[in-house]
């Protein structure tokens, strides 16, 4: 994993470049309005960012990458533990600590602010658990209570500081909504140390954290110190929140914990991959947010980072390979269409069978009667078969002739159906007139292996419970005349 962040950062930077090109399009329209204060044009500003010559740009990008990693890693744990809103409460609760850290020696000393904020954050989460343990108030009430009360103390301190005659307090309000450009070399060093600590601890305690997150009961009886792991995680979480404050801001840090991790949660089932993906998403949205806020004058960074993360989440929500809404809809649709095609093929088989496989092709009228549908409906279904190479249409589309592939599918579906009916009546002792509906569903999903097994169990029976022949392998895979001199050769006819 030590080597990973660097390779990720390259990948992240690259993906960021691609994404921001897309993201920026709608904003260019307002460029004139934003740019009224700044002298430089949007493209110059963009070039300044991308050329990487400005040290403040380098600090901002470095900081965004680091906070993306630590927030993504720790956010994954709170998302799977259903503790997302603990992150929210924690991130608001650090504000008084920031103010007190500043008051310590009246400068924005990164270390003092870091310590103050961490103490405030730990105090906040401690208060939440104290309230839930000692009163009948529920956890959500306790979280909201601590979040808002601590935040109010922070606001009072900040407004107090603003009205004191102290120099060097400017920029303290940047802690509310974040300003990546304000990250200095000292801040960056602290962020690097904390991120390294987070990565190392997550790697070392991966198994313990995983167990405590998914099955705390088992972890406890296995002798893991679950309570300590929880407190340790809270402390790390406070660290991650605090180093992100300057770039993301108190108000939106929780989103950098939750959103990248939730996006990763949609993309994979394995915790290790989720951690890596969440860190990647965190880095991408961090850099993207820093870039976007850099383009305007005095634009806060936090909201851009959060929106970039939300964009990634929205994409994962729609297009995640397994869980994406669009992907699932598409899969469902194609499955429904395949079932529909297979049902048409089956109907053609039934028509052929009803004439003892005498004719060659099936007319739309016969098919419509069999399926109890209109000619027009059936014409559409036949066209669908032709498009998938399962049948050919003749006599101006009024005659349907199965191709070898179409015949194989049709015969297999009929075989699946009848085998299953036989199985249910034989093995499950279900009455013969109750098995059709079930077979109607399962015929489309039975795999080859299951079919072999069914055939063995049923001693390669030739007839279904209704007395009709079950097509065997020789019918399904029977050879076709390769010459095909006559198109209407009659594939339906058994040898």
Partner 1 sequence: MKDLIPPFNAQEVLVMPWTDGLANFGWIALMGFLVAAACGLIGNYLILRRMALVGDAISHSVLPGLAIAFLLAGSRGTLPMFLGALAAAVLTTLIIEVIHQKTRVKQDAAIGIAFSSLFALGVLLISLFADKVDLDQECVLYGEIALVPLEPMTTLGASTLGPPSVVRMALVAVVVLALIGLFYKELLVSSFDPGLAATLGINATLVHYALMSMLSVVVVSAFEAVGAILVIAMLILPGATASLLTHRLPRALGWSVLHAALSSVLGVHLSVWLDCSVAGAMVVMGAVLFALVWVFAPEQGQIARLRRHRADATGTA
In the region spanning residues 73 to 92, those forming contacts with partner 1, defined by CB under 8 A, are 79, 82-85, 87-88, 92
Q: How far apart are CA 69 and CA 192, in angstroms?
A: 10
Shortest distance, position 179 Cβ to partner 1, whole Å: 11
Shortest Å, Cβ 390 to partner 1: 34
Here the tokens at position 432 are 């013969």
Q: Which residues contact 272 (CB under 8 A, 6 or more apart)?
A: 206
Shortest Å distance, C-beta 218 to partner 1: 21
CB nearer to partner 1: give 134 or 485: 134
410 HSE (CA, 13 A, CB side): 24
Smallest gap from residue 278 Cβ to partner 1 (A): 12
Angle between helices 84-93 and 139-163 (to 10 degrees): 20
What is the distance between the alpha carbons of residues 408 and 179, in angstroms, rounded to a whole number?
65
Q: Report, in Å, the least distance between residue 79 CB and partner 1.
A: 5
CB closer to partner 1, 20 vs 390: 20
Interaction of residue 134 with partner 1, rule CB under 8 A: yes
Does residue 451 belong to the site contacting partner 1 (CB under 8 A)? no
Please tell me whether residue 210 binds partner 1 under the rule CB under 8 A.
Answer: no
- Give me the residues paired with residue 400 across strands: 362, 393
Our finding on whether 133 is near partner 1 (CB under 8 A) is no
- Between 216 and 404, name the residue whose CB sits nearer to partner 1: 216
User: Quick one: 83 or 122, whose CB is closer to partner 1?
Assistant: 83
Contact 403, 389 (CB under 8 A): yes
Nearer CB in complex with partner 1: 279/309: 309
Q: Are strands 362-363 and 391-394 parallel, antiparallel or unpaired?
A: unpaired
Contact 68, 16 (CB under 8 A): no
For residues 435-452, one letter each, b for 16 or more C-beta atoms within 10 angstroms of the residue's C-beta and e for the rest, the string is beeebeebbbebeeeebe
177 lies in the site for partner 1, by CB under 8 A: yes
Asked if residue 93 binds partner 1 (CB under 8 A), the reply is: no
Piece of 110-118, 139-147, 333-341, 368-376 that binds partner 1 (CB under 8 A): 139-147
Interface mask (CB under 8 A) for partner 1, residues 236-255, using x and -? Answer: ---------------xx-xx
Q: Minimum distance from CB of 169 to partner 1 (Å)?
A: 12
Quick one: CA dihedral 270, 272, 274, 277, positive or negative?
negative
SS3 79: helix
Order of strands across the sheet that contains 362-363? 362-363, 399-402, 391-394
Q: How far is the CB of 476 from partner 1 (least distance, A)?
A: 40
DSSP per residue over 339-369, as a string?
A: HHHHHHHHHHHHHHHHTTT-SSSEEHHHHHH
Q: How far is the CB of 107 from partner 1 (least distance, A)?
A: 12
- Are the C-beta atoms of 362 and 352 separated by less than 8 Å? yes
Asked if 131 touches partner 1 (CB under 8 A), the answer is: yes
Q: How far is the CB of 219 from partner 1 (least distance, A)?
A: 20
- Single out the residue of 272, 296, 276 nearest to residue 284, CA to CA: 276
Tokens of 220: 């406890």
Token readout for 248 is 């993301």
Q: Which is nearer to partner 1, 269 or 396 (CB)?
A: 269
Among 5, 12, 300, 492, binds partner 1 (CB under 8 A): 300
| Site of interaction with partner 1 (CB under 8 A) | 30, 33-34, 79, 82-85, 87-88, 92, 103-104, 106, 131, 134-138, 140-141, 143-145, 147-149, 151-153, 155-161, 163-164, 173, 176-177, 251-252, 254-255, 258-259, 261-262, 265-266, 296, 298-300, 302-304, 306-307, 310, 313, 317, 323, 325
């Amino acid at each position: 994993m030590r080597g990973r962040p660097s390779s990720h950062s390259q990948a992240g930077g690259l993906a960021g470049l691609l994404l921001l090109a897309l993201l920026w399009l709608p904003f260019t329209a307002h460029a004139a309005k934003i740019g009224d204060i700044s002298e430089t044009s949007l493209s110059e500003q963009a070039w300044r960012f991308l050329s990487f010559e400005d040290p403040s740009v380098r600090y901002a990008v470095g900081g965004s990458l680091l906070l993306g990693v630590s927030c993504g890693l720790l956010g994954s744990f709170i998302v799977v533990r259903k503790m997302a809103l603990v992150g929210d409460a924690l991130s608001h609760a650090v504000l008084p600590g920031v103010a007190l850290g500043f008051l310590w020696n009246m400068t924005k000393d990164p270390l003092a602010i870091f310590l103050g904020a961490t103490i405030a954050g730990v105090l906040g989460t401690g208060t939440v658990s104290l309230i839930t343990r000692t009163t009948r108030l529920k956890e959500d009430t306790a979280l909201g209570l601590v979040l808002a009360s601590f935040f109010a103390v922070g606001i009072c301190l900040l407004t107090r500081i603003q009205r004191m005659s102290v120099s060097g307090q400017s920029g303290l309000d940047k802690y509310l909504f974040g300003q990546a450009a304000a990250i200095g070399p000292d801040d960056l060093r602290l962020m690097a140390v904390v991120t390294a600590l987070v990565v190392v601890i997550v790697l070392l305690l991966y198994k313990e954290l995983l167990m405590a997150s998914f099955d705390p009961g088992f972890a406890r009886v296995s002798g893991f110190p679950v309570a300590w792991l929880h407190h340790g995680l809270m402390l790390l979480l406070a660290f991650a929140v605090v180093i992100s404050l300057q770039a993301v801001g108190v108000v939106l840090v929780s989103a950098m914990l939750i959103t990248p991790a939730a996006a990763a949660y949609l993309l994979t089932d394995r915790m290790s991959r989720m951690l890596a993906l969440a860190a990647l998403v965190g880095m991408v949205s961090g850099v993207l947010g820093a870039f976007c806020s850099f383009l305007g004058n005095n634009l806060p960074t936090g909201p851009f980072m959060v929106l970039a993360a939300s964009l990634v989440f929205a994409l994962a929500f729609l297009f995640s390979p397994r869980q994406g809404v669009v992907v699932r809809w598409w899969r469902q649709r194609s499955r429904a269409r395949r079932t529909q095609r297979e049902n048409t093929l089956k109907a053609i088989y039934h028509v052929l069978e009803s004439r003892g496989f005498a004719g060659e092709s099936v007319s739309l009228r016969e098919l419509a009667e069999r399926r109890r549908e209109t000619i027009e409906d059936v014409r559409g279904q036949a066209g669908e078969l032709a498009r998938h190479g399962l049948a050919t249409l003749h006599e101006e589309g009024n005659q349907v002739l199965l191709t070898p592939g179409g015949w194989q599918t049709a015969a297999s579906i009929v075989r699946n159906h009848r085998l299953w009916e036989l199985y249910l009546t034989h093995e499950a002792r279900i009455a013969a007139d109750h098995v059709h509906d079930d077979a109607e569903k399962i015929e489309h999903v039975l795999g080859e292996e299951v079919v072999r097994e069914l055939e063995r169990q049923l001693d390669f029976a030739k007839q279904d419970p209704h007395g009709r022949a079950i097509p065997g392998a020789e019918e399904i895979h029977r050879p076709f005349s390769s010459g095909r001199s006559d198109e209407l050769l009659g594939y339906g006819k058994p040898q």
